[in-house]
Structure 1
Amino acid sequence: MMKKIFIIISIAVVSIVKAQVGINTTTPNLSSMLDIVSSDKGVLFPQYELVSLTNNTSPVNNPVKGSIIYNKGTGVSNYPKGYFYWTGSAWERMLMNNEVDQILRVQVFGGTSGQPIIIPSGTGNNIVSFNSTGIINTIPGVTFSGGQNITLPAGTYRVDVTLDCYNDSTSVAAFITNYSFFVVNAGIVNTSNTLLTDLKTGTQISGSGYAPGKIQGYKFTYILQLPVSQSVRFMLNHGNGFSEGGNTYANQSGLVATFYKMYE
């Protein structure tokens, strides 16, 4: 008798292991391995505070590609709330349509003549003044019509900045023959010029005082969190290096700053 019961239980266990799983349903959909049915409840994924997007030991040890977690974004995490999936090398946030659509793009036009100075000679801070034309804005609550101050509503933003420029100095010390070492610092500040983000540093070896070797290109990315609506600015300066000998001008593509408002 006990042997028969054991056989029946063993068959049942094997059937359960191989079968589809239905929660709150006895007839799970044939196309799914897991079918959850409810009229008034949802599914809750594991929730963490992400402190690194590339850490493959914490919060999940050796995550499988495609693993999904939810970042609470309320404590030590510097990343916005939302679902993240493991790409195999990093946690990538899942974006919603309204996140991608909500952007502000401002720029400083370059050109082939009469280019504006975006970093004056020396190592002092310079607040960038953006053009009043060419503005793209789909973020409700933004106030900006050109100049230095950009008023943003409260929220979390990813800010991408690209800079196409050149330095006109002919007096800086050469790093190698006819080429010098340039350093550019960049950050987002408030109206008191206090940093709201980390200060990014870009370095480049390029010619100085003659074309075309003097052209430089930089790209900076920030996460900006604003608890309340406030005005922000973009600050540039020449860092410690051989770059303080002349002015830095916007080249043909100029300077472009794009603010992506993240969904929260």
Structure 2
Amino acid sequence: MGQVGINTATPADGTALDINESDKGILIPKVALSANNSLTGISLSGTTLEEGVLVYNTQVVTGSNPLNKGFYYWNGTDQWIALGNDTDWSLNGNTIDTTNRLGSNNAFPLIVKTNNNDRFRFETNGTLTSLSNGTETSPSYSFTNSTNSGMYLATNNTDLIFTSNGDDFLSHRSFGSSSQVTFNPDGDPDMNLQIRGDSGVILNANPERENIQIGANSNPDYASLSLAHSDKGFLPNRINIADLSTFAPLVSDPLNGLIAYNSRTSSGTEGLYVWQERWNRIITSADKDYDWHVESTTNAATDITDNIYTNGSVGIGTTSIEDAASLELGATDKGLLINRVALTDASLAAPVTGVVKGTIVYNTNEDLTPSGYRNDVREGLYSWNGSRWIPQFREDRSARFGNAASRGKNLNNGTSQELELFAFNEWNDDNMLFSTTESDNQTRLTVNEDGRYRIVVAMAIFAPNTAGSANNFNLQLDAELRYFRPSDSSTGYPATPTANNIILNNNSAGNSSSVNITEVIELQAGDEVYIHTERAGNSGVIRMRPDAGSNFFTIEKIK
């Protein structure tokens, strides 16, 4: 049989079967296929199926080898190929953009392959998935005109990175419940970060200068942060400081140098404050005439007991402070008033507490009762040397006394004599310290404070011209410094050398001599000082020089 015609006697040329019907169709065998690569469901006597066998699949198959209902033909080796219709996508494209599409009508992803390898998946939820992570120079999502620019996922599968011309410029990394966005994650090469608006640069980060400028891109190299606007200010965080001595309301103890604006006036004046182990207000030129305030108030202080400190030098009344000075006072019509205290004993720090070596005070009290004259205190400046208060003023009270005219007492009469040296005083700086008594038998000076004294005696003596007298030559007169202590009725001999004064007369060798004593001694209040003389040779007459004021007794308190 060459050709078969159904309802026609003349089959069309070139056909093996020609069915001539205008109201009937042809029914292809219906088969329930199991997979698009399986012959299960086809009755075979052997193991192969002829290429081109056509069936109508009646079963929907899911999985990795899916099938839909419809016409399929066998490709002769390993695949059932679905027959298309007008809605299938053509390799040359489709023209009805309102109805044509590339995709599926079932809940299966659309897979894009190259070289028989899966490259992208259009998931059923509408997402596009790349099946490779990509690299910095070959990102998984890129562009035809710049294949090394795009987006890829780092090998840790948690770092999404954007790259341009093979350089990473932005990354987002996940850390469990937190994440981080990093500009220029590699740090190589340097990248300038700039945020712009319609009006120009908002922020510019310069990697070479490692700084930020707001409002321009001319970052100066000397500043970590610079503000370029000429019509805007810098507004620091505004906080309510309740206590200047604590870092609250900050969440933790900050490093020194933190700046904030205090808007709570109950803790001090509103304004800028810097943290330096405590909150300290930043003073401006507008504050130059402000009083010190009592802490936590705005009241001018009358008694400030808080610490006032600075890390640099302080100038009062001057803006030019010498480099070597911690404190410089510039007024030319004022003085420095040191703290005034009432000391009672130079060996006691009280009333000053926590005293350290070098502390200076002005003592307003006089107390001469402590044991030991070195512990006496008088009004004036004192410095603490680590164990006692040292007066910063020289003890310079002194007195000079002299004889009256024509004293006729014979100093060589064989009995003890006291020189009449206190008839008048040339000067006496302190009548309460030095006082004198003079009588026929006693002529003495009383000191009324414990202390150390320097005493100088200068006296001229002579023998009257009585030539021929056997006892009027080789005269000797001893003189020494003594004191009487009424507190125990004792006499002191303060180791002064006896002055052995010789007067030679009859042999014409002279009839005059002198008594000179210089001594430093320690005396107690109430001691009576005098010069004692007695005969040491012949019994001739020896008198003081008769001229008034020619013999002197000088005493000076030196400590």
Normalising by structure 2, report the TM-score.
0.26
Say if 2:445 and 2:530, in contact at 8 Å, map to a contact too. no
Three-state SS of the structure 1 residue aligned to 2:495 is coil
Separation (CA, whole Å) in 2 of partners of 1:260 and 1:103? 4
Structure 1 window deviating more from structure 2 (208-217 vs 156-165): it is 208-217
Say if 2:404 and 2:424, in contact at 8 Å, map to a contact too. no
Q: How do 1:144-159 and structure 2 match up within 5 A?
A: 144-147=435-438, 148-152=443-447, 153-159=449-455
Separation (CA, whole Å) in 2 of partners of 1:98 and 1:255? 28
Say if 1:129 and 1:146, in contact at 8 Å, map to a contact too. no
Structure 1 pair 145–183 and aligned structure 2 pair: CA distance change class (3 A): closer
2:44 aligned residue: none
- Following superposition, the deviation at residue 206 of structure 1 comes to 3.2
2:492 aligned residue: 195
Deviation per CA, 1:44-84, whole angstroms, max 9, x where unpaired?
Answer: xxxxxxxxxxxxxxxxxxxxxxxxxxxxx99xxxxxxxxxx
- Following superposition, the deviation at residue 261 of structure 1 comes to 0.3
Q: How do 1:29-40 and structure 2 match up within 5 A?
A: none
Larger radius of gyration: 2
Structure 1 pair 126–223 and aligned structure 2 pair: CA distance change class (3 A): same
Say if 1:142 and 1:150, in contact at 8 Å, map to a contact too. no
Q: Which amino acid aligns with 1:203?
A: N
1:247 aligned residue: 542
Separation (CA, whole Å) in 2 of partners of 1:211 and 1:261? 42
- Following superposition, the deviation at residue 161 of structure 1 comes to 0.4
Separation (CA, whole Å) in 1 of partners of 2:505 and 2:529? 28
Three-state SS of the structure 2 residue aligned to 1:119 is coil
Structure 2 unaligned spans of 5+: 1-323, 328-355, 359-372, 375-391
Structure 1 pair 158–216 and aligned structure 2 pair: CA distance change class (3 A): same
- Following superposition, the deviation at residue 186 of structure 1 comes to 1.5
1:106 aligned residue: 401
2:519 aligned residue: 222
Separation (CA, whole Å) in 2 of partners of 1:211 and 1:249? 20
| Structure 2 residue 552 is the aligned partner of structure 1 residue 256 | yes
Q: How do 1:101-140 and structure 2 match up within 5 A?
A: 101-110=396-405, 114-117=406-409, 119-122=411-414, 124-139=415-430
Task: Provide the aligned length of Structure 1 versus Structure 2.
Answer: 166
Q: Cα RMSD over matched residues?
A: 3.7
Structure 1 pair 251–217 and aligned structure 2 pair: CA distance change class (3 A): farther
Q: Which amino acid aligns with 2:557?
A: K
Say if 1:207 and 1:213, in contact at 8 Å, map to a contact too. yes
Percent identical residues: 15
| Structure 2 residue 476 is the aligned partner of structure 1 residue 182 | yes
Three-state SS of the structure 2 residue aligned to 1:218 is strand
2:276 aligned residue: none
Structure 1 window deviating more from structure 2 (252-261 vs 188-197): it is 188-197
Separation (CA, whole Å) in 1 of partners of 2:528 and 2:446? 6
Three-state SS of the structure 2 residue aligned to 1:141 is coil
Deviation per CA, 1:93-148, whole angstroms, max 9, x where unpaired?
Answer: xxx8733x3112111134xxx333262412x2212334443341114632525512
Three-state SS of the structure 1 residue aligned to 2:532 is strand
| Structure 2 residue 171 is the aligned partner of structure 1 residue 171 | no
Structure 1 unaligned spans of 5+: 1-35, 43-72, 75-95, 175-179
Say if 1:128 and 1:234, in contact at 8 Å, map to a contact too. yes
Structure 1 pair 136–146 and aligned structure 2 pair: CA distance change class (3 A): farther
Three-state SS of the structure 1 residue aligned to 2:482 is strand
Three-state SS of the structure 2 residue aligned to 1:144 is strand
Separation (CA, whole Å) in 1 of partners of 2:399 and 2:453? 10
Three-state SS of the structure 1 residue aligned to 2:491 is coil
Separation (CA, whole Å) in 2 of partners of 1:241 and 1:108? 25
Say if 1:130 and 1:146, in contact at 8 Å, map to a contact too. no
2:279 aligned residue: none
Normalising by structure 1, report the TM-score.
0.50
Q: Which amino acid aligns with 2:478?
A: V
1:142 aligned residue: 433
Structure 1 pair 250–200 and aligned structure 2 pair: CA distance change class (3 A): farther
Q: Which amino acid aligns with 2:460?
A: D
Work out which structure has the larger RCO, using CA pairs closer than 8 Å and 6 or more positions apart in sequence. Answer: 1
Q: Which amino acid aligns with 2:491?
A: T
Structure 1 pair 136–158 and aligned structure 2 pair: CA distance change class (3 A): same
- Following superposition, the deviation at residue 193 of structure 1 comes to 7.2
Separation (CA, whole Å) in 1 of partners of 2:514 and 2:399? 22
Three-state SS of the structure 1 residue aligned to 2:394 is helix
Separation (CA, whole Å) in 2 of partners of 1:130 and 1:261? 19
Separation (CA, whole Å) in 1 of partners of 2:456 and 2:413? 25
Structure having the larger proportion of residues in helix: 1
